[in-house]
Chains A and B, each alone.
Chain A
Amino acid sequence: MPSLTEFLVKISADPKQLARFKKNPAAAMKRAKLTAEEKEAVLSGKAEKLRTALNFASWGPGKVK
């Protein structure tokens, strides 16, 4: 499974993981082995970049299964 999806599931489902990420985003993303593109998308917070990094379009089922 793509590591960005796994990473977002982890920090969204566990408030402790989210707090750890907020305290030190770089370290948390390194631990999750995110690519440079994924890290940039996460830090930007921009919907379009996150959708591209996750490889889906929000206006259709796309690749979401």
Chain B
Amino acid sequence: MKRRSRRGSLTIVGLGIEAITHVTLQARGCIEQADKVLYYVADPVSAQWIRSVNPKAESLTRFYSTKKRRRVTYSQAVDEIFGFLRKGFAVCAAFYGHPGVFCSPGHAAMRRARREGVPARMLPAISSLDCLFADLGVDPGAEGCQSFDATDFLLHDRRFDPKSPLILLQPALIGERTLPLEPCNREGLKILTKALRRHYPGSHKVVVYEAAQFVVGKPGILKVRLEALPRARVTPVSMLYVPPKARPTANRGMLKRLIRLSAGSGVQGKRKAGPSSR
């Protein structure tokens, strides 16, 4: 019998995108060892697996509804987590994808735990962005990477560099504040396309991307001209990848300065081999 501290403890884990295969050993260990597992997953395969690993696991889906705002749902999910923490349980909250990427309840639970002095930790996991890098061959280290929620991108008129890759998340859910009833808000997609047309030509090829959710699945990679985006098949799990429209121009003054810098350090323009901050 594990000893419970009065405050309990919280570990927030992500299950990755591809059901079961993306779960890290660290996350699996937390699910196994927890007094209580509360999970929100997007598919029945992950749900079945979690319950097989920890029979005390319970779904948070009962708080989700198309009739209420998402923030209300998230707040109720966090309240549920803290109900078990108050009982002194070691709680593991498991979410689909990365628990800190597009997962408001994960961050909200961490903030509340810090406020209330509950020992808490969030573990990293595989996000849909990670899947995109692998499936589309995009290296953020080569050309940079800008990513925004599609609604946020429009609402705040985000400044970005069209010569660097742009990734927009949830383009199907522009302006949606509840769980969607329809798979795609076409009007929102039209507004997004119009905004992007200010920076890219209509013929610019973009990719509607959907990561594979199952080990037998294939990623969805749909290449379309930007002007055809409003008619493309886009689902709530799709992301929009907009490749750079041109190669960037180097700042010659900075180039000279950096060459002098590397010459001075003895590297002479060559990057030292070794571990980088990946």
Contacts and interface: CB of A to CB of B under 8 A. Distances in A.
Contact of A59 (B20, B212, B218, B237): B237
Contact of A12 (B21, B180, B218): B21
Contact of A46 (B44, B48, B59, B218): B218
Which residue, A12, A42, A63, has most C-beta atoms of chain B within 10 A?
A12
Nearest to A14: B20
Nearest to A42: B216
Interface string B227-244: 000000001110000000
A36 interface: no
Given A56-B43, A59-B237, A64-B43, A5 B48 contact: yes
B179 A18 contact: no
Contacts of A47: 210, 212-213, 217-218, 220, 237
A50 B61 contact: no
B216 A58 contact: no
Interface residues of A, number: 28
Contact of B214 (A12, A13, A57, A63): A12
B235 A12 contact: no
Interface in A26-49: 42, 45-47
B216 A64 contact: no
Contacts of B20: 9, 12-13
A62 to B, nearest CB: 8
Interface residues of B, number: 34
B217 A5 contact: no
B61 A61 contact: yes
B48 A6 contact: yes
B216 A45 contact: yes
A1 B48 contact: yes
B49 interface: yes
A64 B61 contact: yes
B215 interface: yes
A5 B21 CA distance: 14
B26 interface: no
Interface in A1-31: 1-2, 5-6, 8-9, 11-13, 18, 21
B42 A64 contact: yes
A64 B58 CA distance: 12
B217 A46 contact: yes
A47 B217 CA distance: 6
A3 to B, nearest CB: 12
15 contacts: A5-B45, A9-B45, A11-B215, A11-B216, A12-B19, A21-B216, A45-B216, A46-B220, A47-B212, A47-B213, A50-B213, A56-B44, A59-B172, A61-B40, A61-B64
Which 9 pairs between the two chains have the least Cβ-Cβ distance?
A: A59-B236, A61-B61, A12-B20, A45-B218, A61-B64, A8-B45, A12-B215, A60-B179, A58-B237
